[in-house]
Structure 1
């Protein structure tokens, strides 16, 4: 029998090989539907097929491998994460969960386990939402919550989502049929790097995820009056950038005062027709709000909207506030988490409970299935960055926990 170190080393080798497939030569970028994404997906498919799994690509481009139970009444347990990336990404965000899941299924095949339920491994095609600014495309199809109006959305090159799906060999007409029916779900498990510093600072390899923070993303447009930088008096200006800048700091101060309840980020700033000698007349900026508490999230949204409007009024600026995306906070399933906590403790590790500030495919899936997540320690909590890193020992620990979790799950359902 292979050791967890040996298995972890194989996963690490695959992660490094997959990271070599990218849209650019200097980092890891595989956005939905691109040639690099398709090449990466094809590579993962060869590994799945070599493991003896039945594999198919569904209409949205998800890669799906399945082990079938002999039980005619069996439900489906899903192991999953995503294989798309942000631009200039790290190697581990997403692929680690997929390739860890592949190792678990390879082991089940080798051990010829008599499955009490079907097990499906899914490599979701689009979680990050970089190309079309729409997160969870792949998992929403599997959950049966895909909004067909999204097919009309266009990327920066003017290509619609429908056209991108067709170009990658998908089928927009089959999307409704790709969902796992709600009564067929047994559960969902996702392993993922923590994307935060808690485990790194405490030197603990894994953690139990109790909830995933809700998100609200807003695009703000500040409308002032462009003018000559040398001729318009300071007290007569309608400087859109100054208004946006004041709001950036107001959002930071608001969240700092409530740092245990909410986080707020302005990550994008665009100055129209910018020039060093022109007073900015129009500026757009983003606002990303997150909280595990729905009430706190709603209150922060309204409070910051009021602050933005007050800034615009005081500076004689126009303001457009456009909510472009929102997801509610999600609690992981209590029973699944109980089993996962038991697996962590039985593997010899402290059971650390964490709330995920980042979104995951578990969010749409949790609407139709009991869902649980395992966090894995990563270097300084760095994510969405080429410095992303996971130590071999921590990956081996995660494998041990995941193996034990599946064993507990099998035992529970064989006795039912």
Structure 2
């Protein structure tokens, strides 16, 4: 908990915690985490996408690698636990193995991923995609709000663009992947249970919509003759909310970003850009909802005389956690005296790209009222203390099985 507080003190601003990919605050946080890894006896390095990586080596040089990981980047005005909890708890797990001089049948690598949230370049999983070998070089041309490209940011961090592929762990070398994360939902809090087994991660689609109407003088254009882009978006936001409520047992839908171009109090908005985030654990339902919402939105735009540009930014299919790994984790939860609660994660995690190359499992830890992406985000000390025996037991079961 002291480490979590110390890392949280490193931020781009004084309200909440903000450490976005490649910023001075992010680099300072990375350096701190790396120093903790080094002081614990791990072999450390910073790879070319900015992941902090610490390795505990097996006596068998040909052994496969098991990865413990989460991320240390944040959203804007974030909490302290989303991401760092998993990294620092993983470090604690390895410190226990070192102290006990456990002979490892496989290598263990602890990774603090550099960019899970995707705030700066409107991407997600940059760090974990590099480690999984699925990084898309086409992303290097993406720009942040200041016009700086991802390629520029990587170079400014000291990374080499030509070496990104070499930072991947080859698929045959993976033994598995384990990520601990706060639930970011209220189920565990309401049921007063400290941990849960994650069975799947919902798929998601992120869309950027540009609405074009006609800018005009707020005092001279009659109400019936306007093509107000912002009024159209306002109706769209309510449409999305209604759609989400109607299908709430299958999906969630959110408009979280709004940009009124050339905004002024005395100008009718002529162009507005907004986001749409659509998520479901059912791949077929996600696709159907996507098409239904697109049709409803295009009809709305046509009725209001607005030009609509619909751009799919990201599609991530739902992911099922590995049955074998989940069996071990469920046993560890039960052995530690807790009810085995199975949950589907509505939030995305680095386990998504990693699951394409390795058996992945996740453990959720209860957080205060399910609040996340918010300075009020909190994990109770008692819940963290209850988590430690579960993670240690899981790792001992995994070692014993190999």
SS in 2 for 1:323: strand
SS in 2 for 1:191: strand
The correspondence of residues 267-278 of structure 1 with structure 2, limited to 5 A, is 267-278=256-267
Counterpart of 1:21 (choices 10, 13, 24) is 10
Structure 2 length-normalised TM: 0.98
4+ residue segments displaced more than 4 Å: none
Counterpart CA distance in 1 for 2:261 and 2:152 is 30
Partner of 1:259: 248
Partner of 2:297: 308
Structure 1 length-normalised TM: 0.95
Partner of 2:20: 31
The number of residue pairs the alignment matches comes to 402
Query: For residues 92-120 of structure 1, what are the alpha-carbon distances to aligned partners after superposition, in whole Å with 9 as ceiling and x for unaligned?
Result: 01100000000000010000001111111
- Kindly state the Cα deviation for residue 167 of structure 1 after the two structures are TM-superposed: 1.2
Counterpart CA distance in 2 for 1:157 and 1:269 is 18
Query: For residues 131-180 of structure 1, what are the alpha-carbon distances to aligned partners after superposition, in whole Å with 9 as ceiling and x for unaligned?
Result: 11111110000000011111121212222111111111112111111111
The correspondence of residues 275-314 of structure 1 with structure 2, limited to 5 A, is 275-314=264-303
Counterpart CA distance in 1 for 2:147 and 2:272 is 23
SS in 2 for 1:319: strand
SS in 1 for 2:290: helix
Counterpart CA distance in 2 for 1:273 and 1:162 is 29
Counterpart of 2:153 (choices 150, 164, 184) is 164
Counterpart of 2:95 (choices 106, 119, 122) is 106
- Kindly state the Cα deviation for residue 73 of structure 1 after the two structures are TM-superposed: 3.4
Partner of 1:9: none
The correspondence of residues 4-403 of structure 1 with structure 2, limited to 5 A, is 12-403=1-392
SS in 2 for 1:250: helix
- Kindly state the Cα deviation for residue 245 of structure 1 after the two structures are TM-superposed: 1.1
Counterpart CA distance in 2 for 1:394 and 1:292 is 27
> What is the aligned-residue RMSD (CA, Å)?
1.1
Structure 2's unaligned 5+ residue stretches are none
Counterpart CA distance in 1 for 2:389 and 2:41 is 22
Counterpart CA distance in 1 for 2:351 and 2:170 is 16
Counterpart CA distance in 2 for 1:322 and 1:152 is 17
Asked if structure 1 preserves the Cα contact closer than 8 Å seen for 2:16 and 2:374, the reply is no
Counterpart CA distance in 1 for 2:204 and 2:375 is 25
Query: For residues 218-269 of structure 1, what are the alpha-carbon distances to aligned partners after superposition, in whole Å with 9 as ceiling and x for unaligned?
Result: 1111111222333333332212112111111111111101101110000111
- Kindly state the Cα deviation for residue 273 of structure 1 after the two structures are TM-superposed: 2.3
Counterpart CA distance in 2 for 1:375 and 1:21 is 25
SS in 1 for 2:123: coil
Counterpart CA distance in 2 for 1:174 and 1:277 is 52
Counterpart CA distance in 1 for 2:156 and 2:53 is 19
Query: For residues 347-390 of structure 1, what are the alpha-carbon distances to aligned partners after superposition, in whole Å with 9 as ceiling and x for unaligned?
Result: 11011111111110000000000000000000111111111100
Q: Which moved more, 1:85-94 or 1:17-26?
A: 17-26
Q: Which moved more, 1:98-107 or 1:280-289?
A: 280-289
